[in-house]
Amino acid sequence: MNRRFHTIGTFVVAVLATWLATSCSRKTESAPPAKPTAFGAAIIESSGGKQFAQTGALLPQPVVVQVNDEQGAAVAGALVEFAAVPGVTFDPASALTDSSGQVTTNVSLGGMAGRYQLVASTTDKSHKKVELKIEEIALSYQQTLGRRLNDQYCERCHNPESTVERVSNYDNLEIKPHPFTEGDTLNKISDADLTAIISYGGPALNKSALMPAWGNTLSKSDVQALISYIRAVSDPPSRQAGPVYAESGIKHPTSWPFSGLVKPSYTDASFPAGQGTEPDTTGHNRLPPLGKQLATTSMRQSTFWPFSAALNGLILKKVYAFTQAQYDGEDPGFDRHDGSDFPFEHDLLAAKGRQCHA
């Protein structure tokens, strides 16, 4: 009798322990921000606002902000933190201003096309937050294609600014074309009208013949791509370009008891941009794929999951130990032509804990 209760007790404890061990929540640890040595009163944008980049890509220029005091003089050593919707990454996400009062950060936008609002903030002397909002635009595939067409065909006349490589033709034209950022005018023109002007030239809508017909040069999808680009960059934003992407989205089931042992670790970023995974220094990722698959699929496919989970926890441990031991016996075949070696730890508990943040 005594022994049986012992066994049951052990079993219950084992189930609970496995449950706890496998349902540990993922926490992303970020380095604590540096301590500010000074405080400013205002934060202003130096450069890097209103840029376009492909979804997920780095902005071509870094974003530079400056912290000023009440008199408008630059403040060195003030802490600036950058924030945006999940999916946007900053490198660095927070920093102290340099001797000229500035902080430079490389920004990559999220995986969805649209307008992104970045918030740079600093604290003033009374620990009140001072914020600066910067807008950036992420272009979808179609808009990127449109941008390329714009660069090749349209921009020479439609962009009044010249660059080293391209002298603008804008000033040479008797009737000035609309820059594509001119949302006040372009937003009022329907897609159908824009298509007509691009395909059949200005005269199609009783406008100047200086706008030639492109319908025989550009395909229909090219024209659509161009229009989607024009809509994306217009200022004020065009309705068709979609809203500013800043909604938090649908509530995702964060603690979901019935979805198996692998808990969803899903964020609104929709496509994890490679950040947020916990650093793993244990080396247990050396487990061969077969062992992993065995270990996890057997766990999921069982209907009697609460029981099988506990069993599998034990099986998993065995599988890990076995495969790891096998693996250590061989040369793993790394590109180690320098002959150096790397230390490994074989922390099995950590290996099990890894399930949550795989």
Partner 1 sequence: MKQKFTSIWQKLFGDSVRAFGVVSVIFLASLAIAPAKNFFSEWRHYQHGYLKTIRNRSDANTLQRHFKPGIQQIWLPELGVVDRCTSCHVGLKEPSLTDVSIQPFRTHPVIPHKTDQFGCTICHRGQGAATTVAEAHSSTLAWEQPILPAKYIESSCGECHRGPLPGTPVLNEGRRLLSRYGCVNCHTVKLPDGSTVKASDDPPSLSHIADKTTREWVYAWLKDPQAYSVSATMPNFKLSDDDARDISAFLIANSTAVPGDSATLSAKPAADPSAGPSLYGESFCASCHAVQNAAGNVVGGDVGPELTRIGSKVKPEWLQGWLKNPRIYDPGTAMPHYRFNDPQVATLSGLLLAKADSDLLANVHLDAATPEQIAHGKRLVSDYGCASCHEITGIKKPENFAPELSRIGSKSITQLIFLPGMPHTLPDYLAGKIKQPRAFSPNLRMPQYSFTPAQIDALTTALLALNERSTTLPPSLAVPATPDSNYQPAGKAGKLMTDLACFSCHRINGRGGDMAPDLTWEGSSVQREWLVQFFKNPGTLRPALIRRMPRFNLTDSEITELTDYMMTVYQSPAVDRDSMPLSGYSQGEVELGKQLFYGKYSCQGCHILDTKTDKGYIGPTLTHVGSRLTAAWIYQWMKNPQALRPGTVEPNRAMTDEDAHALTAFLISQKGGAPQEVAKK
Q: Within positions 113 to 152, which residues make up the interface with partner 1, using CB under 8 A?
A: 113-114, 140-142, 144-145, 148, 152
Write the DSSP symbol of residue 278: P
Evaluate whether 112 touches 55 at the Cβ level (below 8 Å). Answer: yes
Distance of alpha carbon 238 from alpha carbon 331, whole angstroms: 59
Distance of alpha carbon 51 from alpha carbon 56, whole angstroms: 13
Distance of alpha carbon 66 from alpha carbon 68, whole angstroms: 6
Part of the chain binding partner 1 (CB under 8 A), chosen from 14-22, 53-61, 68-76, 180-188: 53-61
Least gap, CB of 63 to partner 1 (angstroms): 13
Evaluate whether 284 touches 325 at the Cβ level (below 8 Å). Answer: no
Per CB under 8 A, contacts with partner 1 among 230-289 are 240, 242-253, 256-260, 262-266, 268, 270-277, 279-281, 285-289
Task: Give 2 or 126: the residue with its C-beta nearer to partner 1.
Answer: 2
Residue in 27, 32, 126, 342 binding partner 1, rule: CB under 8 A: 342
Least gap, CB of 136 to partner 1 (angstroms): 14
Per CB under 8 A, contacts with partner 1 among 78-97 are 87, 91
Is 204 a binding residue for partner 1 by CB under 8 A? The answer is: no
- How many residues at the interface with partner 1, by CB under 8 A? 110
Residue in 47, 185, 297, 301 binding partner 1, rule: CB under 8 A: 297
Residue in 22, 122, 228, 234 binding partner 1, rule: CB under 8 A: 228
Least gap, CB of 122 to partner 1 (angstroms): 24
Q: Provide CB contacts within 8 A for 226, sequence distance 6+.
A: 146, 149, 150, 154, 198, 218
Do the strands 129-139 and 52-54 form a parallel or antiparallel pair, or are they unpaired?
Answer: parallel
Q: Strand, coil or helix: what is 108?
A: strand
